[in-house]
């Protein structure tokens, strides 16, 4: 592996340090702080000329600040003659407006992809993009890693696979849920939310027999927690024995943690793509598993020009 430089933005210091420990590479000295008026100040304090550089930064809350840090760090590396700049974005925010379903809607995911590319990144490494096609919004090589191997290992260690049912919390997530069900050889069920008439509240229909099952809800994002908590209620009402949720990105805005803590979810398992807040760390039914080894291995393979997709064979 040629010499690599790892740089940390302020979004997820804990994950960055775990990746650095996995790779046995110290973090490059770099200041990313604020001017008095809150503009971002960046200074890279080591030589990076001709080197293979990786900036680790999730564009999580506060998304605008973290995105801007990533762009300015990229600019600093480019002007310092880094040989290659890879944006490692464990959580790619601004992914939820990824098409134009109505007139005058933006495609924010494409705009952010353009910003990252124009700032000077040569590659992107990300995890469980909200929609697979966002990979194609980048005109630079982009690896979309899957957290599935990490999640599958945890499920196998903790649950009785003979009695589990993988559940998609909505019709849009069926492909993701089906892939997990296949990996653990479990049946699949779907929560089908329908509003029968305008103005009436949504009805949750469960497709599949969940009675007596340990259900595993799977999704890419938990934000307000509404989707998960409502799905858990509906599954228990249909006779499910218990409900777990495995979610890649714990956005958890507003009162989401309180909502989940007081819900009927037995456990919510998140990855550390977004740095857990103190509230998440102390919540009784939330647990965090790390994708640092997955990202560390992908970085090592990128640096050695080896296959990254074979990580998922």
Location of structure tokens 């977004």:
274
* 51 HSE (CA, 13 A, CB side): 15
Measured from the Cβ of residue 222, the count of other Cβ atoms closer than 10 Å reads: 26
- DSSP H helices, 170-262, are 174-184, 226-237, 256-261
What are the CA-CA distances from residue 93 to residues 106, 223, 299 (Å)?
Answer: 15, 12, 20
- DSSP H helices, 80-119, are 108-119
Measured from the Cβ of residue 239, the count of other Cβ atoms closer than 10 Å reads: 12
Which residue, 98 or 272, is less far from ligand R5P as judged by CB? 98
The edge-to-edge listing of strands for the beta sheet with 84-89 is 4-8, 52-56, 84-89, 123-127, 142-145
Contact set for ligand R5P, span 165-194 (CB under 6 A): 169, 172-173
Query: Which listed range, 71-79, 219-227, 231-239, 269-277, lies at the site for ligand R5P (CB under 6 A)?
Result: 219-227
Q: Alpha-carbon distance 267 to 161, whole Å?
A: 16
Query: Which listed range, 72-80, 225-233, 274-282, 302-310, lies at the site for ligand R5P (CB under 6 A)?
Result: 225-233
- Asked if 221 touches ligand R5P (CB under 6 A), the answer is yes
- Asked if 128 touches ligand R5P (CB under 6 A), the answer is no
Q: Which of 29, 156, 193, 304 is catalytic?
A: 193
- Asked if 283 touches ligand R5P (CB under 6 A), the answer is no
When binding is defined by CB under 6 A, the residue of 69, 128, 219, 272 that contacts ligand R5P is 219
Distance in Å, CB of 131 to ligand R5P, minimum = 9
- Asked if 222 touches ligand R5P (CB under 6 A), the answer is yes
SS3 140: coil
Which residue, 51 or 127, is less far from ligand R5P as judged by CB? 127
Query: Which listed range, 47-55, 111-119, 224-232, 276-284, lies at the site for ligand R5P (CB under 6 A)?
Result: 224-232
- Asked if 225 touches ligand R5P (CB under 6 A), the answer is yes
Distance in Å, CB of 85 to ligand R5P, minimum = 30
Distance in Å, CB of 120 to ligand R5P, minimum = 30
- Asked if 50 touches ligand R5P (CB under 6 A), the answer is no
Q: Alpha-carbon distance 251 to 42, whole Å?
A: 26
29 is catalytic: no
Q: Alpha-carbon distance 109 to 116, whole Å?
A: 11
Distance in Å, CB of 134 to ligand R5P, minimum = 13
C-beta of residue 161 within 8 angstroms of C-beta of residue 127: no
Distance in Å, CB of 107 to ligand R5P, minimum = 16
Residues involved in catalysis = 193
Residues that bind ligand R5P (CB under 6 A): 169, 172-173, 219-227
């Amino acid at each position: 592996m040629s010499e690599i430089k790892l740089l940390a933005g302020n979004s997820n210091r804990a994950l960055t340090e775990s990746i650095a420990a996995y790779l046995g590479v110290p973090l490059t000295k770099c200041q990313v702080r604020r001017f008095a008026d809150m503009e971002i100040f960046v200074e890279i304090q080591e030589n990076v000329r001709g080197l293979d550089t990786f900036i680790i930064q999730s564009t999580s809350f506060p998304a605008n600040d973290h995105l801007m840090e990533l762009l300015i760090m990229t600019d600093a590396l480019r002007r310092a003659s880094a040989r290659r700049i890879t944006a490692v974005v464990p959580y790619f925010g601004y992914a939820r407006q990824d098409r134009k379903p109505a007139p005058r809607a933006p495609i924010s995911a494409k705009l952010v992809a353009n910003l990252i590319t124009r700032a000077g990144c040569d590659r992107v490494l990300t995890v469980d993009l909200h929609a697979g096609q966002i990979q194609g919004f980048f005109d630079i090589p982009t690896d979309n890693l899957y957290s599935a191997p990490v999640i599958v290992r945890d499920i196998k260690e903790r649950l009785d696979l003979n009695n589990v049912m993988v559940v998609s919390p909505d019709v849009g997530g069926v492909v993701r849920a089906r892939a997990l069900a296949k990996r653990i050889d479990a049946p699949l069920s779907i929560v089908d939310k329908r509003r029968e008439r305008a103005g009436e509240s949504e009805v949750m229909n469960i497709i599949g027999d969940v009675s007596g099952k340990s259900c595993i809800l799977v999704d890419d994002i938990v934000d307000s927690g509404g989707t998960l908590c409502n799905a858990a209620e509906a599954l228990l009402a249909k006779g499910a024995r218990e409900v777990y949720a495995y979610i890649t990105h714990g956005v958890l805005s507003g009162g989401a943690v309180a909502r989940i803590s007081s819900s009927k979810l037995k456990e919510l398992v998140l990855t550390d793509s977004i740095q857990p807040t103190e509230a998440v760390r102390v919540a009784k039914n939330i647990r965090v598993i790390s994708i640092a080894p997955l990202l560390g291995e992908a970085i090592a393979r990128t640096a050695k020009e080896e296959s990254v997709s074979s990580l998922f064979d």
